Structure formats: C-alpha cells, structure tokens
Amino acid sequence: MLLLALDTATPAVTAALHDGTSVVAAHSQVDARRHGELLLPAVDRVLTEAGLRLDAVTGIVVGVGPGPYTGLRVGLMTADTFGLALGVPVYGLCTLDGLAYAAGGEAGIEGPFVVATDARRKEVYWARYADSRTRLTEPAVDRPGELDIGGLPAVGAGALLYPDTFPDAREPEHVSAASLASLAAERLAAGEEMEAPRPLYLRRPDAQVPKNYKVVTPK
C-alpha cells in the first residue's frame, strides 16, 4: 500500500505519503489564497523526499471538507485526476475527522471534544467527537455564539478564533495530510467503508450571480 493524501479544505495546503504502516513523507504550507499554486509542488516534494515516483501510489486520499468552495475543489479535482491517470481508487475523508485524529496525538485529548474550523462570515464548520476516531454529529456550519459545547476541549482554527465559545481551545490549528493518511490506512486495514470523494460544502459559494442580472445578447 502507498497512499497519497491531499487536503485543501482549510488554509493549509497539505500532502503526505503513507506506506500502510507509517507516514513516509509529509508537507504542509498555510496560505488561504494559493491552493492551486501550492498543491502540486507539495505532492512533488513528498514524492522526492520518499524517493518514489507517482506511479508507485496505490490509492489517493482526499479531504472532502467542509470547506470554502474555491479551495476545497482544488484538492478534490487533483485527487480525481490522479486517480483517473493512475487507475487507482480515490477515497474521501471528512477534513474534521483528520483534525480529530490528530487531536488524540498532538493535543493528547482522550475524552469527548469538538473540532471547529474557520468557515469565514463569522461562522465555523464543526462537529462533536466521542474520541479521536468517533464522530458523534454530522458536520455543520453555525455562528459560534449559537453553540453550546458545554466547556469541552476543542481543536482547529475556528476554536482558536472564538475563545468565548471555545474556552479550552487547543492545537492543531489546521488539518494535516499525514493525519488523513494515517486514519485512512487504519480504516482500510480494518475493512471499513470509505467515503466517496465528493465535496462537503454545507452552504452556497461566496461568488454568486448578482440579482437582476441583465443578459445582453447580440441582435
């Protein structure tokens, strides 16, 4: 097994390789405006670090969000293209699940907690977890002031942005492809069903056709 994992659902542009036992290479760069520019160089970097070619990959793992429309589609389209070109399966994983998986290691959280990422518009994408591998609620998008998390620990950029709602906010701030790859490898080894690589937007894109748009056609 050699999994190539990608995620562009948050400001982190991240890629990693996993050989079924451990992460063999990983790279992340935080830049919310350059997903399309940075993702392929990140993939090239992890392949070079591992001393491998792209055709050695046996499966693609991609974060499906939730996330902003523009950034999220970069990772998903890249994953689909790699899958078609290589003739390998493409597996989707909720980006919040990747953060939750990392929380068990980086943040040392063992009991219930919350993952919250920045959804912009003064909102967060969030979900509640029983532990680092068990999500209790479906991903949602809400204003922080409308949430009552009962003082649970929280990870993610959304939690760090709104301390009044998330008083026990901890790292990691952004998802890493290394965590996505490790979680996917565990689930595949256990024979668990994987998600389809389809975007989880939760709301309409920021860019919309203006109201009362006048169509002008030549005579």
For the stretch 189-202, pLDDT in tens is: 999 999 999 999 98
Q: For tokens 């169509």, name the residue.
A: 215
CB distance 129 to 89 below 8 Å: no
The model's confidence at residue 207, banded by pLDDT at 50, 70 and 90, is very low
Alpha carbons 104 and 135: distance in angstroms, whole number: 13
Assess contact for 6 and 34: CB atoms under 8 A: no
Cβ–Cβ under 8 Å, residues 194 and 92 = yes
pLDDT score, position 212: 58
pLDDT in tens, 114-157: 999 999 999 999 999 999 999 999 999 999 999 999 989 999 99
Note the pLDDT tens digit of each residue in 34-46: 999 999 999 999 9
Residue 15 scores a pLDDT above 90? yes
pLDDT band, very low/low/confident/very high, at 49 (cuts 50, 70, 90): very high
From the list 90, 96, 2, 78, the residue with the least C-alpha distance to 42 is: 78
Q: What residue type is 84 in one-letter code? A: L
Phi-psi label, residue 150: left if phi above 0, alpha if psi -120 to 50, beta otherwise: left
Q: Per the structure block, which two tokens stand in for 138?
A: 């479906």
Q: Give the pLDDT score at 105.
A: 75
Residue 108 confidence (pLDDT) = 81
Does the pLDDT of residue 110 top 90, yes or no? Answer: no
Count other Cβ atoms within 10 Å, centred on residue 202. 16
As a whole number of angstroms, the distance between CA 79 and CA 74 comes to 9
Record the pTM: 0.90
